[in-house]
Amino acid sequence: MSTTAFHTRRLVEHRYGRSLDRLRDEVAHYRCADPVLPIVLRRLTALERTGEQGRATRRALRTTVQDAVADGSPRDDRLRPYIAELMRVEQQEQTQAETLWDLLDIRLLLDQPGAGRLPVSRRPGRAVEDQDVMEAACQAAACLPRLTRDALRQALRNRGIHISNRRLGAVLQQLRAERTR
């Protein structure tokens, strides 16, 4: 198994929280509610096959190099097809791995049902207006017994607002200034 396939396999197991054998068993017996899992498993199988194809090509290339060295013949003509095939297989393996990683990211997004119901301005990854942040921060601060950076950050995240540390500091300063008035 290639390094890419090995690490991708580990990533799949980590994201699903179960061993690959158990995941395959779930799909085989139609006990899987996740629509992405069968696709992920098919892609992982294809990635593992491509990795094996790369290993076979490397073995053939190594054998050809050894034969060419033993014969004392020019190596270029005999090695070119193997090198070209190896480059093609490695590129294919990389593309398959990236596609699989994208599928795993989609699966993570499917696990977050609340994000789709938030207003556009409050979805994670979207720029949030200063006024929206201040309104949410004021509401969150009213519920907090002590206004600290960590407590405010967690309260904003619970409301679906993720802001930078610098911006959080500015909001915190504004809230403290308003509390002292």
DSSP letters, 131-158, are HHHHHHHHHHHHH-SS--HHHHHHHHHH
Residues 25 and 84 in one domain: yes
Burial 60-71 (b: 16+ CB within 10 A, else e): ebeebeeebeee
Domain assignment present for residue 155? The answer is yes
Mean pLDDT for 166-174 is 87
Residues 21 and 47 in one domain: yes
Number of domains observed in the structure of the chain: 2
What residue has token string 């696709």? 39
Greater pLDDT, 50 or 131: 50
Could you tell me the residue range of the domain that residue 155 belongs to?
Answer: 121-180
User: pLDDT value at position 118?
Assistant: 46
Residues 38 and 103 in one domain: yes
Residues 93 and 148 in one domain: no
What residue has token string 């190896």? 86
| Alpha-carbon gap, residue 10 to 48, rounded angstroms | 13
Instruction: Quick: pLDDT tens for 37-75.
Output: 888 889 999 999 999 999 999 999 999 888 888 887 766
User: pLDDT value at position 88?
Assistant: 93
The two three-digit tokens of residue 18, written as one number: 């179960």
What residue has token string 């690490």? 7
Domain assignment present for residue 116? The answer is no
What residue has token string 């290639």? 2
Q: Using pLDDT thresholds of 50, 70 and 90, give the confidence band for residue 114.
A: very low
